[in-house]
Amino acid sequence: MQNIGRTRNQPRSNRSMSLGGLDYADPKRKSNYVGKILLAASLTALCIILLKQSPTFNTPSPFSLHEEGVTHVLVTGGAGYIGSHAAMRLLKDGYRVTIVDNLSRGNLGAVKVLQELFPEPGRLQFIYADLGDAKAVNKIFSENAFDAVMHFAAVAYVGESTMDPLKYYHNITSNTLVVLESMAAHEVKTLIYSSTCATYGEPEKMPITEDTPQVPINPYGKAKKMAEDIILDFSKNSDMAVMILRYFNVIGSDPDGRLGEAPRPELREHGRISGACFDAARGIIPGLKVKGTDYRTHDGTCIRDYIDVTDLVDAHVKALEKAMPGKVGIYNVGTGKGRSVKEFVEACKKATSVNIKVDYLPRRPGDYAEVFSDPTKIRLELNWTAQHTDLQHSLQTAWRWQKAHRNGYGSPLVMAS
């Protein structure tokens, strides 16, 4: 007779029992499963209770509150070359800073440097956002208590603007409108606007004063002038404090070597002449291309007013300090002295100690022959004067950073002797 019973050594089945084609779970296993759920729920509830009892659980972010004696500045484009230097100066002077940048031209590495320099809570925050997204910008303003805005964010290459003008009108003019609308909606009363000498075009008289007619000749200058016009029209029926700084060709970097200029490789062709000089000195490009030798200048090349970035951010801070409700200030920010491209190249050769190869090519579309400022107004009204006016010294400072950061902010290297 066959033994169909379970032997003594056969283990009890943990599987579900099948009766009439239906599965019924083992009641002991189901009880264990329910117990685990109840335990997890109890632990979760306990954690929530403990968090709520924590003194910091319901504490709002310091960036969301106005604090007496602390000025909270939104720095748009603060991951970029000029914006990061401005943010560092503001932080050094005790301001609270929020950087908003979409990193299309900026460098997250610059933000990390600032975070390492100023790690204290409530000093610096970075928000990744595009100023073209009006909903995102409005959300940023609704969640943060800004006292002022320094608006740097913009594409800023003359040559590129002639090739892709719509990008420039959207990025500069339209985005400035978005920022201004959010400032108005959330009652942020101070705007320091980063403009440019390109709004003047090619004036008949030199030097350029703030009363020189604005007749821009390229989309970059035109887009900036449109943004200025929007700001000025809005200010007529507002008590907003407005400062518009029209600056000239920016060079140099942080004297202590913490920040520098690191444009994206694909934008080198459109970049500043200083960047091209350094690339040639480092062998990244075979030589320097000087576009235009037939201008009506003493040596046939363009003449520009080169302003050190340290002086430029100082002008922005002074403008912020002097901004008055219901008032508009417009200032040229330059040295008041023009230098030709050939003179610039010779200074760069000396700064880098490299005999850079120079190729002379036809003019670049949208360029103008001669531009330099009359800084009298900013000196008298803001007590600002450029201090770093030695062209070769400014280039040497920038060159030190370039040598120590051959991959930009990607991987700092030990300074070469």
Catalytic residues: 220
Nearest-angstrom CA–CA distance, 353 and 346: 10
Note whether 76 and 84 are within 8 A (CB): no
Helix (H, G, I), strand (E, B) or coil at 22: strand
Nearest-angstrom CA–CA distance, 241 and 357: 48
Nearest-angstrom CA–CA distance, 309 and 148: 21
Nearest-angstrom CA–CA distance, 280 and 121: 42
Read off the amino acid at residue 13.
S
For 96, the enclosing helix (H) or strand (E) is strand 96-101
Nearest-angstrom CA–CA distance, 176 and 188: 14
Peptide bond preceding 207 in cis form (omega within 30 of 0)? yes
HEC profile for 214-260?
CECCCHHHHHHHHHHHHHHHHHCCCCCEEEEEEECEEECCCCCCCCC
Q: Which residues are registered as beta bridge partners of 78?
A: none
Note whether 371 and 248 are within 8 A (CB): yes
Distance of CA 167 to the CA centre of its chain: 17
Read off the amino acid at residue 66.
H
* Residue from 273, 281, 260, 253 nearest 405 by CA: 260
Nearest-angstrom CA–CA distance, 114 and 408: 15
Could you give the maximum distance between any two Cα atoms of the chain, in Å?
Answer: 121
Distance of CA 94 to the CA centre of its chain: 19
Read off the amino acid at residue 370.
E
What is the DSSP code string of 362-386?
Answer: PPPTT--SB--B--HHHHHHH----
Residue 194: how many CB atoms within 10 A of its CB?
25
Residue 36: how many CB atoms within 10 A of its CB?
10
Helix (H, G, I), strand (E, B) or coil at 76: strand
Residue 202: how many CB atoms within 10 A of its CB?
12
